[in-house]
Structure 1
Amino acid sequence: MARRGARTLMPHDTRHLPDTPGLPDPHQLPDPREVPPTLAHALAAHAAAMPDRAAVTYRGSTGEPRTHTYAGLHLRASVLGAALAPLPGDGHDRPFVLIALPNGLDYVASFFACLMADAVAVTFHPPALSTARAGDKYDQRALAILQDCRPAAVLAERALHERLRTLAERAGLRPPLLLDPTTYGTERSPAGAASPPTPLPTPLGRPESLALLQYTSGSTSEPKGVMVSNANLVHNSAGLARNLGSGPGQTAVGWLPLFHDMGLIGMICHPLWAGMSVRMSTPAAFLRDPASWLHEISQSRATITIAPDFGYATAARKVAEKRRAGLDLSCLRHALSGAEPVRPRTIEDFTEAYAPWGLEPRAMMPVYGLAEATLCVSCVDRQAEPALTEASQQALREGRVSSPGNHGAGESGGDRALTLVGCGRSFTDDTEVAVVDPDAHVHLPDGEVGEIWVSGPSVAGGYWNRPGSTDATFGAAVQGSDRRYLRTGDLGVMHGGQLHIVGRRKDVIVHNGVNHHPQDLEATVETAHAAVGRVAAVGVPVDGVVGAEELVLLVELADYGRDRDHDAVLTAVRRAVTESHGIAVRAVELLKPGAVPRTTSGKVRRREAARRWATAGFNPLAGWPGSAVAPHSPQQTQPQTQPQSLALEKGHV
């Protein structure tokens, strides 16, 4: 059955918006009773109603833009979908299709082809193949996903077909059909025909059908696929469109990767559901020239953009004044920031940097969400500026919010203030965002810190092929409620009517919007140099930024006592992590064997290790940077702001 409420949201809502050129006429908006049941049906409707309007434009590495109109995108998806629809399920009721493509039009067309064919689209985070080590990571992740979901087909560039075929054979799997989406069909049609199949006349998907298996950007060895239905996609896309007033005549601009939920759902599903035009580049293009993002917004008169915090920080601090010349950002009504902790300094810096170029302060919109809830969970009201709240760090440690002046700063020798960024309230009326005591399973009052639990039609169906993890994460119950809740693993507090994120219960390290499992980082470091023994990868807070973390590597030397070039070990460790995971390292310390705190069963006590590092509790043999072997003052790194009442050392899925 379709989730209740999935079809009650208007995809476009322009109430209370200032007059802006290009916004849709409210009298021309679709009747809410005619809301399409799936994204594929929405694409078909837009292709019929406005065939020549630009749907997606991608500016690739050459700098030349390529565009699909709504009619063109629908045609490509229908033709490729016709090739996917008859494929065998290989143990599933429908075919699973792994999309292992770079960002671009082919990825978008392939995703909608899966939706058209009622096949399950499987996202894949393809590591770069620039080095041998990176190639090994690609193979490990691809193989783990092939084994986990056994796709009937893989959509990939032809140059990777042999690599993927070899991986499948090595694992004893039936080699999947390898398709090159640039041909609209396959290297061999399922029926053996030489020509592409006839386009599907109508979408085959149903609201309750599994539409997307979104593998989180987490563990390489045990990736978890989040099961997202068509109804989930519609509810989240429609909810975003309603909150943002999205509709035909508007443009969204971004550069996020499409294997990430914020890129695929925030920048593709939501705008195309609403009939917008999307203009995209790639993360690499943004990093080469951050100003190009802003100039695209200005030139296309975009009303919406989405990026993680580091994107706005980069644009604020690394775009020279002369590159800002000629910008007009007065068109930008919503600049969504999410996927990692939203820093108050970034909001202030970005707003200050681009206010002279027309940026409205209220355009900045912190949001909170996660793949397990499809994407969005809460967002700030579109008419309000971001809410910044000064809070006592000591009070947060005790599990509550109060101002620094109300916490006896004098007695404690000086209580530091932290600025919490409000992420608004639930983004739809039928979504509940609760702050809960995870041990007692009771709602906590405003002002008290607890774990964030979510219930509503956007919550996914669980993790593919992992019933234990699904029950633990998606089956939580609160006393006095018959709803089932998603445990997010994040810590938050309701204050002033808004959700504020204050930390995480999980060990996952979030860097630039990407989740990194410490076990993966540790495995990489352990093979970086012969002198490396046991390793602990820990996240340490960024000074003054609630919830933001950087990576510290605590490396025990396997051959302590031997004459080793410590600098060579430090360099090898940093290079291995950067090449394999794309994450910058805050510090590396080389330690004697047994220095890292562990449980009796041998598990790293990560929070204790992070606390000890922050207070210079180790006596390192060497470190990077050089100051890593000097005492760490509290001003350099603040302790993690976790309430003592929560069982932080418990394992949590």
Structure 2
Amino acid sequence: MAIADFVRNSGLLLYPQGLEVIAAFCGCLYAGVIAIPVPPPESGRLKRTLPRLRAIVKDANATFALTTEAILSLVEGVKGEFPEFDQMKWIDTATVDLSLAEGWQDPQVDKDELAYLQYTSGSTSTPKGVMLSHFNLMHHASYLQRACGYDENSITHTWMPYFHDYGLVEGMMVPLYNATPCYLMSPFSFIKRPIQWLKNITKYKVTHSQAPNFAYDLCLRRLKSKDVGQLDLSSWEGAGNAAEPINPKVMMNFVETFSPCGFRWETFAPAYGLAEYTLLVSSKPKGTHPVFTCVDASAMEQDKVVEADPQQEKGTRVMASCGRLVCETNLAIVNPDTLTRCAEDEVGEIWVSDPSMAQGYWQREDATKETFQAYIKDTQEGPFLRTGDLGFFKDGELYITGRMKDLIIIRGTNHYPQDLEWTVQHLNPVFRSDYGAAFSVEVDGEEQLVVVQELERRSGELDFEQLLGDIRQEIAEEHEIQTYAIVLAKSGTVLKTASGKIQRRACRQNFLNGSINIAAVWSDNAEVMDKFAAG
């Protein structure tokens, strides 16, 4: 409340993961001002983190920033290069006089007033501020309480960052709403020691903890034999899995590896969501088994859903369901070209409608109308939120096939980049998991496939010709397409968003510019080879 009495209008929140940022966020809510959680600048990565912060500052028009002494010192050192920072009031909240809380007055906030701006990750476009009201947050917290099976005995643990909707809403705000314990871990600590996440779950008897697919894969890769005996995951009831494509093989390997530690299939809770919907659209109910479906890959490339025999090794695709719709969520699978509902056996764009829908994009009227005010053409049902994601709804379960803007279309056939990336990364352990990008480039009027794949650090002597040949052969056999170019990149090359999503468009641009830090490259096109040889 001391913070609430101190701030006005709208303000950035820049903190390390911890209680301070929760206090600052709640202080903004108490004050009736708009909170803007953003990634703090990192001393070792200023060139990469400051431009994003600058873009948000310019877009949000914030009047102040709440932060810590250490981050404030870091910002002071670069204010000369970033004049936008000098136009705000910077406040080290540790210096705020707590006695100010005694003068706090209820701002009489209306439920439809904005509570915070959630800046999107920028995986496919410039970051946009999603406008979320007090009602959006409270309504959705009640939804998650029901859909994810929280009760008075629930215990949450999160390392997901506060500036990501998964971390802020389910990781931090839902425990506050439920009045149940929550333990926080730094995202950096997780990346350095992912098994510590599982050790914390063991120590605190955690029931709910969420992460993207790559986190479960990272635990598998970093696990040592001595760790298994130290883990007890039997208390874990909801292992949320969302924020990026879900790989069934990773789920299977995780269950197989950690079942001796008490991890069960029904613990996994695949889900799907987006900031524009506050958080989750769908999630697997607690205590039920995840659902998988096997579909014909050729039919899927034509946007048709045809069931296939799971025993058939070639020409099929096993997909993990993202669960059932959260509470009263209204869903439509819509043809993005005709804006009419798809048939049950067709892939289309996912449209959703509910009071969980955000108010729109901050200061972007046209984008708000396009995304948040969609109507089905022939029936005029709406307004719906257009998610930009493709999928289908089968037997009450939602399946995500990919993102419209990332879709690769070659000779009239659809290919989802994550499928191609997973094919490559499972070929050889030297290929860094979740650090590859598949995309298309136009060559002589035709779309052609390019794959950029990072190598693990300290990979030793490698037979690059063999590795490149293996990739070409595997993609040709598994996906029946030819590869135009393959780049094996040094570690630290493939760009990600602040929330860990592959920035395929940025990788594509770097490929076109010839600015990738390569270890090896292959292409039948001599110009491509010459471009990287010159670099």
TM-score, normalization by structure 1: 0.64
The Cα shift of 1:356 comes to 1.5
State which of 457, 474, 492 in structure 2 corresponds to 1:635. 474
The one-letter amino acid of 2:94's match is: T
Moved over 6 A (4+): none
State which of 369, 380, 386 in structure 2 corresponds to 1:471. 369
Distance 1:457 1:627, change over 3 A: farther
Distance 1:252 1:400, change over 3 A: same
2:90 paired residue number: 178
Alignment of 1:76-115 (within 5 A): 78-84=1-7, 87=8, 95-115=9-29
Q: Secondary structure of the equivalent of 1:442?
A: coil
Q: Distance in 2 between matches of 1:307 and 1:244?
A: 14
1:490 paired residue number: 389
1:244 paired residue number: 148
State which of 571, 584, 597 in structure 1 corresponds to 2:442. 597
The Cα shift of 1:164 comes to 4.3
The Cα shift of 1:234 comes to 1.1
Distance 1:164 1:541, change over 3 A: same
User: Are the equivalent residues in 2 in contact too, given 1:117–1:204 (CA < 8 A)?
Assistant: no
- Deviations, residues 37-83 of structure 1 (Å, cap 9, x unaligned): xxxxxxxxxxxxxxxxxxxxxxxxxxxxxxxxxxxxxxxxx111111
User: Are the equivalent residues in 2 in contact too, given 1:423–1:500 (CA < 8 A)?
Assistant: yes
State which of 93, 109, 116 in structure 2 corresponds to 1:205. 109
Aligned length in residues:
459
1:255 paired residue number: 159
User: Are the equivalent residues in 2 in contact too, given 1:80–1:199 (CA < 8 A)?
Assistant: no
Alignment partner of 1:461 is 2:359: yes
The Cα shift of 1:317 comes to 3.6
Q: Secondary structure of the equivalent of 1:404?
A: coil
User: Are the equivalent residues in 2 in contact too, given 1:540–1:640 (CA < 8 A)?
Assistant: no
Q: Which protein has the larger Cα radius of gyration, Structure 1 or Structure 2?
A: 1
Alignment of 1:409-428 (within 5 A): 415-428=314-327
The Cα shift of 1:447 comes to 2.2
User: Are the equivalent residues in 2 in contact too, given 1:613–1:632 (CA < 8 A)?
Assistant: no
Q: Distance in 2 between matches of 1:500 and 1:264?
A: 25
User: Are the equivalent residues in 2 in contact too, given 1:248–1:277 (CA < 8 A)?
Assistant: no
Alignment of 1:206-285 (within 5 A): 206-218=110-122, 222-285=126-189
Distance 1:147 1:501, change over 3 A: same
Distance 1:287 1:139, change over 3 A: closer
Q: Distance in 2 between matches of 1:403 and 1:202?
A: 57
Q: Distance in 2 between matches of 1:214 and 1:108?
A: 15
Q: Distance in 2 between matches of 1:426 and 1:640?
A: 34
The Cα shift of 1:631 comes to 7.6
Q: CA RMSD in A?
A: 3.6
State which of 48, 59, 63 in structure 2 corresponds to 1:137. 48
Q: Secondary structure of the equivalent of 2:289?
A: coil
Q: Distance in 2 between matches of 1:339 and 1:367?
A: 8
1:299 paired residue number: 203
- Where does the alignment leave 5 or more consecutive residues of structure 1 unmatched? 1-77, 88-94, 187-194, 510-537, 551-577, 589-594, 615-622, 642-653
Q: Distance in 2 between matches of 1:163 and 1:331?
A: 41
User: Are the equivalent residues in 2 in contact too, given 1:541–1:639 (CA < 8 A)?
Assistant: no
- Where does the alignment leave 5 or more consecutive residues of structure 2 unmatched? 409-414, 427-431, 453-461, 482-535
Q: Distance in 2 between matches of 1:198 and 1:339?
A: 41
Q: Distance in 2 between matches of 1:357 and 1:596?
A: 46
Report 1 or 2 for greater relative contact order, CA contacts < 8 Å, sequence distance ≥ 6: 1
The one-letter amino acid of 1:244's match is: C
Q: Distance in 1 between matches of 2:354 and 2:464?
A: 46
The Cα shift of 1:147 comes to 1.5
Q: Distance in 2 between matches of 1:198 and 1:549?
A: 57
Q: Distance in 2 between matches of 1:640 and 1:367?
A: 30
1:146 paired residue number: 57
Q: Distance in 1 between matches of 2:405 and 2:425?
A: 12
Q: Distance in 2 between matches of 1:504 and 1:624?
A: 34
Q: Distance in 2 between matches of 1:157 and 1:539?
A: 42
2:238 paired residue number: 334
TM-score, normalization by structure 2: 0.77
1:290 paired residue number: 194
1:437 paired residue number: 335
